[in-house]
Structure 1
Amino acid sequence: MRKNISLTLLLLALGISAQAQVYLNVLKFGVKNDSSKLATEGIKKAIATAVKQGGGTIYFPAGKYKTGPIELKSNITIFIDAGAELHFTDDFDAYLPMVPSRWEGTDVINFSPLFYAYKAENIAIKGRGLIDGHGKKWWAYSEVHVKNIPTSKWQEEFKRLNKDVLAPDLPGWIEKGFLRPPFIQPMFCKNVQIEGITIRNSPFWTVNPEFCDNVTIHGVTIENPHSPNTDGINPESCSNVHISNCHISVGDDCITIKSGKDRSGRKRNIPAENYTITNCTMLSGHGGVVIGSEMSGGVKKIVISNCIFDGTDRGIRIKTARGRGGVVEDIRVDNIVMKNIKEQAIVLDMQYAKTTVEPISERTPIFRNIHFSNITAQGNQAGYLNGLEELPIEDISFQDLNFDTQSGFVIKNSKNIQFDNVHVNTERGAVIKAENSQQISIKQVLTNKPHAGVPILDFSNLQQVSIQGNIPLVPSDIYLKVSGEKSTNYLMGDNNFKNVKTPIQTSPEVPVGFNQ
């Protein structure tokens, strides 16, 4: 009786009806919880048994399991209990035959992901247990190290299956070796949940839903130390994604939003849209939350809030390059704390890769309607906006920011950029240095650490500039420096510069009457 009551309580805790769902303990399918036997076939049998009965929960009690890849089917929940550890083998042959996959935004046939699902519905991986990808052996095959690795049977198989792949614009990428599999990759799935588990040592990207709808990732811990390309959570070309209460420390970007790369991404043309990211902490990683650079299908309607980045290389990073195409728009970032940022707190870079100017076409990416508010940051550089000469970044706002950084904002090739109530204390240089841009609005932009002979605003070749409502409280030498023969149409009003020795300093080439 007690066992039946305990089972019923557990099922209720999982949100499963005892009458409607099957509950299967993997130990009853010949699986060993002492790592003495590979569990792959036993897990497969448990899943097949549940599928025959309409679905159910595959339960891993406390213990240590060794397994190959696990493929989820519709209406299947994997429940990894506290004290349970799933250790995935690093025998590459276990991940054959290769399956339809996506690798850095390109459709390929590749090794099976460690957890895989294809066109399934109502799937979940839950619990307080651990899954370990044992990625170290895989990491040696990253494109960074593969130069010294001879041709392998896996590389030959990959080439055989991908003869007609629509490769990225950069030639030769397949010849770098075979491609490592992601840890968790559901493809074309609906109603996906990943909750509570701890994930470590992923071979490649860790949680990587592709073309999925209604994805929830909640309370997950991801740890991938000192490892190449082991991004934390990368939902790609998905819709209605909810990421919350996660803790991430990885060898690449912590959370990245993508939608395909170059020709392959544009052909699919499936955007990443309707994402919410909230209440997460990010430690080691190249970026806290990153969009791109593979965003050829577009990224839109994204909200990022209530997060802490502590020790990442960058905070919010949006990156692309000519050749990608795609539109990034309708992005909101609010209530963020960033500490110990090694590079930039905020990056919008449309020249992530070196390219030359070309006519505007489907290859031309677009950044627009992106807004940042209520952010505290400490680190190297406040921000970097770098648009394209042929198509600038457009409609960006910064409101209620408090930054303490080595250097300030740098803005190039941008349009309609607004700063409102922005306080930046730098160790060197101007608070905002902008060039070759237009429609720049400056309101209540201040610093408590002005530098001798250095302007707070350093503008070159800007048009349609509004500087209003600024009242520097700390004595400074120069508030605004204007240079460049294309500087024109500055509007100044409601400023109080009594604490500034030189409110406006102009270079000789600046046209007379630029501020009329």
Structure 2
Amino acid sequence: MSLRLIRNRYRNILLLALGFMLVTVFSCKNAKEKTQDEAVLKEDVWAQADAIIQEIGKPSFADTTFNILDYGAQEGGTVLNADAIADAIEACNAAGGGRVLIPAGRFLTGPIHLKSNVNLHLEEGAEVLFTTDKSAYLPVVHTSYEGMEIMNYSPLIYAKGQKNIAVTGKGTFNGQADKENWWPWCGAERYGHKEGAPKQKDDHNIPALFTMIEDGTPVEERIFGEGHQLRPLFLETLECENVLIQGVTFTNAPFWVIHPLKSKYVTVDGVTVNSHGPNNDGCDPEYSKYVHITNCKFNTGDDCIAIKSGRNGDGRRVNIPSENIVVENCDMKDGHGGVVMGSEISAGVRNVFVRNCTMNSPNLDRAIRIKTNTLRGGFVENVYVKDIEVGQVKEAVLKINTYYGIYGKQEGEFIPTIQNINLENVTVENGGKYGLLIQGREEKPVTGISFKNVTIKNADTPLKVEHCEPISYTNTTINQKSY
């Protein structure tokens, strides 16, 4: 990293810290001073987003190319090229870094493990096919499943503890997941599961992992993989720094697609996710900070973007909030939500900025969504959404749900905190079932919701709000009624 980038990074950290400290300071002022100071803060909000982007920067690489063909790779999609790709990455890393080139053509491989100072680059016309042989993804590695750390099948693309890494280009990563491979393990018939076949909810899978977490089992002893049915992630960076994912396309994912975990200074730029399998979230930053998601297209089987921070006891054990995240210039099509916080959110999420995005599909359930419950708890605070065009959504433009639940009973002792959620300059042509849907908790109502210059048309029910302090409306209409 250059000295200039280091200096800028520390300067921006100081500026951002001072800016976000204002939120706490305001709560101690009288009403008049608070109103004046909040007005100043709102003017500075998007400058804070710009400072986060500048803080993140982008990694740089040596001008040296390592072509996988020079390491024995064979095009055609039938010969396994895992060793050739691994050898090229190893050589690139050993030489101090550079670009590992996958040229045009179809290349079959097993999991790809990235190393520091390596840019894995897909030439236009390149397609990387990941083998359907599940044994290729062993031995197990330190990874996660739905917000819980485990030892499991390797992600298809994986890096742990690396710095200055990238996946770039105009090619395609094809996970080859379908109703015959990986997807049936979710347990749903529409994804190929057959009655009586093993699935992820069986006692030896997710319930066993819950028990391990409750018993305090160390991560290295939470061993799954062979004999279990927990699907691998597509691309995961664990405990990595200075990460760039740019230009490439992902399709046919086994599970979540892009998963920065315990990582910082991450840029996801110009990526296309077109994958409609079960839990095919597009990008899920978790326990991660300083993340920039820009110019991307999401057409997914689950949330387009879901910001997470661990599940239940495991999230509280790790206790790393996801924070300082900017989403901009993205296009969301199918999905459970456009930009979502949760449901694995036990360590909290703060300082999220969403601007200049379009969301439009009859199969997009919500635009902005926050989901948690009293087993997961956590907090969401300081969320700013601006300049969003929504064509249509199924359920709600903004949904906040503190009763979210799957896998049975979801009630516990951890009351979530949700505050300071702001929507500005949002236009919605077809608002779905609800314009605004908030289900807070009587013990701790949702606070600080504001709508400014928001127009929602054709919502079946304009508002359904439970246990939420009065919402601030400025120049807002829902179904042509002013609020």
Question: Structure 1 length as normaliser, TM-score?
Answer: 0.74
Residues 387 and 424, structure 2, Cα contact 8 Å, conserved in 1: yes
Q: Counterpart in 1 of 2:447?
A: 394
Match of 2:285 among 231, 235, 251: 235
Q: Which residue does the alignment assign to 1:43? A: 85
1:65 aligned residue: 107
Structure 1 unmatched ranges of 5 or more: 1-13, 432-443, 446-516
Cα separation, 2, equivalents of 1:133 and 1:284: 19
Matches within 5 A, 1:462-501: none
Q: Kindly state the Cα deviation for residue 379 of structure 1 after the two structures are TM-superposed.
A: 2.9
**Of 340, 361, 379, which aligns to 1:290?**
340
Matched, 1:133 2:147: no
Q: Percent of aligned positions with the same letter in both sequences? A: 36
Query: What SS does the aligned partner of 2:257 have?
Result: coil
Query: Is 1:424 matched up with 2:478?
Result: yes
Find 1:274's aligned residue among 305, 313, 324. 324
Note if contact 1:206-1:231 (Cα within 8 Å) is conserved in structure 2: yes
User: Cα RMSD over matched residues?
Assistant: 2.6
Kept after mapping to 2: 8 A contact 1:106/1:168: no
Aligned equivalents of 1:156, 1:112: Cα separation in 2: 22
**Cα contact 1:119–1:187 (8 A) shared by 2:** yes
Cα distance in 2 for partners of 1:422, 1:168 equals 50
Structure 2 vs 1, CA of residues 307 and 81 (structure 1 numbering), >3 Å: closer, same or farther? same
Q: 8 Å contact 1:357–1:390 — kept in the other structure? A: no
Q: Trace 1:50-449 onto structure 2 (pairs within 5 A).
A: 50-136=92-178, 137-145=181-189, 148-150=195-197, 165-166=212-213, 177-225=228-276, 227-311=277-361, 312-353=364-405, 363-377=414-428, 378-380=430-432, 381-404=434-457, 405-425=459-479, 444-445=482-483
Partner of 1:3: none
Equivalent pairs counted in the alignment come to 403
Q: Greater shift after overlay, 213-222 or 142-151? A: 142-151
Higher-strand-fraction structure:
1
Provide the secondary structure at the position in 1 that maps to 2:213.
Answer: coil
- CA shift digits 1:15-37 (9 cap, x unpaired): 967xx443100001110122231
In 2, Cα distance between equivalents of 1:323 and 1:45: 45
* C-alpha displacement of 1:165: 3.3
Q: Distance in 1 between matches of 2:424 and 2:138?
A: 47
TM-score by length of 2: 0.79
Larger Rg: 1
Greater RCO, CA 8 A, separation 6+: 2
Deviation at 1:422, TM superposition (A): 1.1
For residues 435-493 of structure 1, give each alpha carbon's deviation from its aligned partner in whole angstroms, at most 9, with x where no partner exists. xxxxxxxxx52xxxxxxxxxxxxxxxxxxxxxxxxxxxxxxxxxxxxxxxxxxxxxxxx
Distance 1:168 1:83, change over 3 A: farther
Per the alignment, in what secondary structure is the counterpart of residue 93 of structure 1?
helix
Deviations 1:65-107 (A, max 9, x none): 0010000011111000101110111111110111111111001
Cα distance, 1:407 vs structure 2: 1.8
Aligned-pair distance for 1:420? 1.7
